[in-house]
Structure 1
Amino acid sequence: MFSGSIPALVTPFRDGAFDEQAFRRLVDWQIECGSSALVPCGTTGENSTLSNAEHHRVIEVCIEQAAGRVPVIAGCGSNDTTNALLHMNFSKKSGAAAALVVAPYYNKPSQEGLLAHFSYLAEHNDLPIILYNVPGRTVTDLQPETVCELARRFPETFIGIKDASGDLARVTDHRTGIGKDFCQLSGEDELALPYNAAGGKGCISVTANVAPKLCAEFQAACAANDLLLARELNDKLYPLHYAMFEDSSPGPCKYALAQVHDWIENELRLPLVPCNEAARKAVDEALVHAGLL
C-alpha cells in the first residue's frame, strides 16, 4: 500500500523542451527530503500538453533516476481508452509500481462508461491502478458505487484512489464498501489532515513539489497519530496549499520552485502561462510563512 507524501511532480521545461537534467535533480531532491513515492505525468506534470513520446520519456527518466529508492506511480490517464492503455503498457515495461489513471475528461462518460473504461484497462494490463477522481477538471465524477464495483470486480488491480472531489464522506464510503486495505490518498493538500483522520493514508500532493520535507513530516505525524504536531505542520503549510491554486496550476507551483531553486525554470506550455502578480505575491508570502524563503 502507498502512503505518506507523494508529490505529483512538475515537468520542467527549458526553451520549450523537457528539461531532463532539472527533472533528475527534482527527483533526487524529493527522495532526499522524504517523499514516499513519485508521480510523473499527472495534472501538475502538464501531461495534457506532452506528446506521447515526451510523456513516456518523463516516466522513463523518473523510474531510472529513482532507481528503486521509492516506487513510481506513472500518470497514465487519457480521455481515450486505448491511449491510456498505451501509457500503462509502457509504464509496466519500464518498471512503474502502479498507474495513476484519471477519469476520462471532456467526453463526460456515464458511470457505465467509466466502468467499461476502467474494466477494459484492467482486462488488458495487470499493472495496479490508483483511480483518480477530480471532477473539477474532468467534469465526470467517479461515484463511490462505481469505485466499489471496480474494486470488487478487479481486487488485484484497483488498489486505491486519489480523491480530489472534496467530499470527505467518501473516505468512509470507500472504506466500508471495499475494506481498510484499499489505499485512499487525498488529492487536495488543504484537506489532507481531515482526510487522514477519516481513514486516508497520505496525499498525492502539489505542495510537496516545493516543500517536500515539511509535507513528509506532516504525513509522518498523521501516521503516528500525533495530532498536535500534524496540526502545527499543517498550519505552517496551509497558506502554501492555497497559494498553489491562486492562478492556473501548475503556474504558482513552478514559480515557487524557481524561487527555491535556481536550476528550475518558471516555464509552462501554452495554453498555460506563468502565474499573475497576485499569485506570485501569495506564493512569496506563503514561502516565508513556511520558512522556505
Structure 2
Amino acid sequence: MADTHKLFRGVLTALVTPMHEDGRVDDEALVKLVEAQLAAGVHGLVPCGTTGEATTLSHAEHIHVVEVVTRAVAGRVPVLAGAGSNSTREAIELTRACKELGVDGTLQVVPYYNKPPQAGLIRHFEAIADAVDLPIVLYNVPSRTVRDLLPETVGVLARHPNIVGIKEATGDMHRAVEVREAAGEEFCLLSGDDFTMLPFFAVGGDGIISVVSNPAPKLVVDLFAATCEGDLPRAQLLNRQQLQLTRLLFTEPNPIPAKATTMRLGLGGPTVRSPLVPLDPDAPLQAQLDACMRELGLIA
C-alpha cells in the first residue's frame, strides 16, 4: 500500500445530505450521520459531492452543509469538501468559502456539460489551485461529465503543489496504474467506484471515496484494513459482502437507494431533490435493501 502519511487516505465517505420532507437540509440527521461514520472508524468525510446532491443545493445550502459537517467533525478526521463547478469562477468562490470554514481540502470535479479540452481542464484546475491555497483532489467521473481527465493531464496537474490527488471513478484498473505512473507515488490515488475498490487498492490505490460506506462504514473500513495488512482471504470475503449492497445501491440513480438505507438506520429520511425522486417504500428494491442490510448485520 501507499504512503501512510498522505492526508487523504483510507475510507472517505461521500456523505448523503439528509433532508426534511419539505426539502430543507436536516442538520440534526447530518450530525448523527457524521458521528456514526466517525464511530465506525472512517478516515475522512466528503460533504457536497455527487452523493450529497451538490448540483441541486443552493450556494448558501452548499456552504451550510460544509459548515455543519466541519463543525461536527471538529478536526477528528480530514474533511474534503466538494467545491467543483463547470464554471471556474464559481469553483473558486466555493473553494474560498470552504477554506474559511476550515476544511482540509476540496474535491474538484471535471467541468460538466461545456466539454472543455484537456488544455481547458489544466487551465481550470490550475486557476483554482492558484487562487486558493488549499489542497485539491481532482474528481474524474466521465460517466457524468462526458469529458475524461486523461492520465497525462493528471501528470501535468500533479506538478502544482496544491493539487494533491484524484478521485478516479472510471472503474478501470489500467487507468489507475497509468495515473500512478503519470502523477507519482506522492499523489493521493483514490477510487470513486465501490464496485472495484479491492482491485483498486491492489494496484496501488490509497483509498476510496465511498457511497456504500454511508450505511456500511465499518465493513468498508475493515476491507481497507485487511488489504493493508495483506490478509487477502479476509479482504476477498469483505469485498463480496460489500458488493451485495453496492449492487443494490446503484440499481437506481445515486443517492436514491443510499438514502433509503440511511433512513433504515435512523440517519435521515428518503427525501431527495427534484428531478430525483425518493424510493417508493413498497418498491421491491426497498425490500431487497432491507434484506441485504439484515444479512450484513446493519439492522435487526
With 93-102 and 217-226 compared, the bigger mean Cα shift is at: 217-226
**What is the number of equivalent residue pairs in this alignment?**
290
CA–CA distance in structure 2, aligned partners of residues 282 and 100 of structure 1: 32
CA deviation after TM superposition for structure 1 residue 123, in Å: 1.4
Q: 1:68 aligns to what SS in structure 2?
A: coil
CA deviation after TM superposition for structure 1 residue 285, in Å: 3.1
Q: Please, which of 46, 50, 69 is the counterpart of residue 76 of structure 2?
A: 69
Runs of 4+ in 1 over 6 A off after TM superposition: none
The equivalent residue for 1:292 is 298
With 91-100 and 268-277 compared, the bigger mean Cα shift is at: 268-277
Verify the 8 A CA contact 1:9 1:45 in the aligned structure 2: yes
CA–CA distance in structure 1, aligned partners of residues 38 and 10 of structure 2: 12
CA deviation after TM superposition for structure 1 residue 178, in Å: 2.0
Are 2:22 and 1:18 equivalent residues in the alignment? no
Are 2:274 and 1:267 equivalent residues in the alignment? no
C-alpha RMSD over aligned residues: 1.1
2:227 maps to amino acid: C
CA–CA distance in structure 2, aligned partners of residues 147 and 290 of structure 1: 38
Q: Please, which of 6, 21, 27 is the counterpart of residue 12 of structure 2?
A: 6
User: TM-score w.r.t. structure 2 length?
Assistant: 0.94
Verify the 8 A CA contact 1:47 1:55 in the aligned structure 2: yes
CA deviation after TM superposition for structure 1 residue 280, in Å: 1.9
1:27 maps to amino acid: V
CA–CA distance in structure 2, aligned partners of residues 206 and 241 of structure 1: 8
2:125 maps to amino acid: F
2:291 maps to amino acid: E
Verify the 8 A CA contact 2:67 2:101 in the aligned structure 1: yes
Q: Deviations over 1:7-42 (max 9, x none)?
A: 000001002101011101111111011110000000
The equivalent residue for 2:87 is 80
The equivalent residue for 2:120 is 113
The equivalent residue for 2:182 is 177
Verify the 8 A CA contact 1:7 1:204 in the aligned structure 2: yes
Verify the 8 A CA contact 1:41 1:76 in the aligned structure 2: yes
User: TM-score w.r.t. structure 1 length?
Assistant: 0.96
Are 2:222 and 1:251 equivalent residues in the alignment? no
CA–CA distance in structure 1, aligned partners of residues 54 and 93 of structure 2: 14
CA–CA distance in structure 2, aligned partners of residues 267 and 178 of structure 1: 39
Unpaired runs of 5+ in structure 1? none
Q: Please, which of 199, 202, 205 is the counterpart of residue 204 of structure 2?
A: 199
Verify the 8 A CA contact 1:201 1:223 in the aligned structure 2: no
Verify the 8 A CA contact 1:248 1:275 in the aligned structure 2: no
Verify the 8 A CA contact 1:106 1:138 in the aligned structure 2: yes
Q: Deviations over 1:55-111 (max 9, x none)?
A: 001001111000011110010111111111111101111111111000011111111
Are 2:194 and 1:189 equivalent residues in the alignment? yes
CA deviation after TM superposition for structure 1 residue 138, in Å: 0.8
Q: 2:158 aligns to what SS in structure 1?
A: helix
Unpaired runs of 5+ in structure 2? 1-5
CA deviation after TM superposition for structure 1 residue 284, in Å: 2.3
